[in-house]
Amino acid sequence: MYLDNENLQEANQRFLSTLKDGESIGRDAVIIYAKGQYAIFDLDEYTLITMDLSDEAKQRLGKLMKKSIEEKKLIAESEAD
């Protein structure tokens, strides 16, 4: 989810406020958003779900996570300049 990119901080805040108002999410919640739907998981529950994925799905998820981490680093570096 890239709501924190491209000047969308306000939309991100509204989204998270709405979630907090309607759901009981904790500090370590994982929010999954796809195709207009979202799900909220406890970090431990999400970890267990990902452990049950097929090897191919784990590899795809790993690639997506690495890409996300790299994009966040680039954004942080550009904001630091």
Give me the average pLDDT of each 10-residue run along the chain (81 residues).
Answer: 54 70 70 81 91 96 93 88 74
pLDDT for 27 equals: 72
- Predicted local confidence at residue 34, as pLDDT: 79
pLDDT at position 1 is 45
Say if pTM beats, i.e. exceeds, 0.75: no
Q: Which residues pair with 42 in a beta bridge?
A: 29
Two structure tokens written together for 73: 């680093």
The rounded Cα 51 to chain-centroid distance in angstroms is 17
Measure CA 13 to chain center: 14
How does DSSP classify residue 53? S
* Residue with the two structure tokens 């970090």: 43
